[in-house]
Each structure stands twice: as C-alpha cells, then as structure tokens.
Amino acid sequence: MENISREDFIIWNNKTKSPVDQLDIVYHYTTLVELMNDKFVLSNDEEVRCVAELPLSWQRKINEAIERTK
C-alpha cells in the first residue's frame, strides 16, 4: 500500500481495538519522539502501534483515509 510505511504509527485503543484518532492521522516516528520528549502521555488503554504491523483490514482503511485527504 502506497500510503503505509514502517515509519508510520498510530495511537491504538486496546479497549475498543481501534485507532484513537481519525484514520487519516498517522505519526511519523520522529514526531512520536518529539511528542514523548514533550511529556505526551498515553492513557492506560492506549499504545503506539506501527501501521504496517496492523491487520491488513486496518491497513486498507487507513490507506484509503489517507488517500482521500490528498
């Protein structure tokens, strides 16, 4: 998928088993480093996940959402 990279991450809600943000919001790993350095805190149910490691169905949804914003 052209809009998915191993350098792209999302914030994932483990309780709802879905992204926290809108599907077209993807963070480059350098942005995550900056956020963490600025004391960004995840809630107990959240974690950072690599988009390329998500199930293919979620990758397709995210890819399509990003494509629509171009």
pLDDT tens by residue, 51-68: 999 999 999 999 999 999
Number of Cβ within a 10 Å radius of residue 47: 14
> Phi and psi dihedrals of 53, rounded to 5?
-100, 0
1 lies in some domain: no
| Count of domains forming the chain | 1
Please tell me the total number of residues recorded for the chain in this structure. 70
59 lies in some domain: yes
pLDDT tens by residue, 14-27: 999 999 999 999 99
42 lies in some domain: yes
| Model pLDDT, residue 48 | 97
Global pTM value: 0.88
25 lies in some domain: yes
3 lies in some domain: no
Give the separation between CA 2 and CA 36, rounded to whole angstroms. 27
